[in-house]
């Protein structure tokens, strides 16, 4: 299975989850984690919604991450979530769900619904799970956002 992630070049090959320690997001709070998407289009949108115009770097890389298909995974279905799960900022319960999964180390992969693309999933990788050793960056390519995606950000 291939998962997708966009990162700045200097962090692209890093699967330590170290960045998760420095921040919190929808599914975690200051714990090592790697956010990926099940397809490249969802990955592109997921990254874009978190960027300000000045953060559209020219050193972005699209990372294709190879995952051993025999690895255990867990899935969170939309039906398991509170009705406000898509809100921004995200409800704290989602961080608790993600943190519980990360600290339990019950599986290396957690499939969660994408807020941006309701027909796709994001996949969290727990780098502290022993199975994470069977997850590798297979390929990295320079990535640039098509300017049409950000044209409306520019002041007129």
Structure tokens at 107: 């599986």
Other Cβ atoms less than 10 A from the Cβ of 50: the count is 9
Q: pLDDT, tens digit, for every residue of 45-60? A: 999 998 877 777 779 9
Residue 155 pLDDT level (bands cut at 50, 70, 90): low
> Which pLDDT belongs to residue 154?
65
One-character DSSP codes across 36-103:
EESSHHHHHHHHHTT--GGG--TTEEEEEEEE-TTS-EEE--GGGS-TTTT-SSPPHHHHHHHHHHHH
* 132-147 pLDDT tens trace: 999 999 999 999 998 8
N residues, the chain: 156
User: Is the pLDDT higher at 124 or at 154?
Assistant: 124
Residue 134 CA to residue 108 CA, distance in Å, equals 10
The Cβ of residue 77 has, within 10 Å, a number of other Cβ atoms equal to 9
Mean of all residue pLDDT scores within the chain: 94
Q: Does residue 156 surpass a pLDDT of 70?
A: no
Residue keyed to tokens 């070049």: 9
> Residue 43 is encoded by which pair of tokens?
């990955």
7-44 pLDDT, tens per residue?
999 999 999 999 999 999 999 999 999 999 999 999 99
pLDDT band (50, 70, 90) for residue 126? very high
């Amino acid at each position: 299975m291939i998962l997708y992630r966009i990162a700045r070049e200097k962090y692209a090959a890093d699967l330590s989850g170290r960045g998760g320690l420095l921040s919190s997001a929808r599914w975690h709070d200051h714990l090592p984690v790697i956010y990926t998407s099940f397809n490249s289009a969802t990955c592109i949108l997921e990254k874009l919604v978190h960027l300000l115009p000045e953060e559209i770097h020219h050193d972005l890389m699209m990372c294709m991450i190879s995952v051993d298909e025999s690895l255990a995974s867990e899935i969170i279905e939309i039906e398991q979530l509170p009705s406000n799960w898509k809100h921004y900022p995200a409800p704290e319960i989602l961080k608790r769900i993600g943190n519980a999964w990360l600290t339990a180390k019950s599986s290396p992969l957690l499939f969660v619904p994408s807020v941006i693309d309701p027909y796709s999933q994001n996949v969290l990788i727990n780098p502290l799970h022993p199975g994470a050793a069977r997850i590798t960056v297979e390929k990295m390519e320079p990535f640039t956002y098509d300017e049409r995606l950000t044209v409306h950000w520019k002041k007129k």
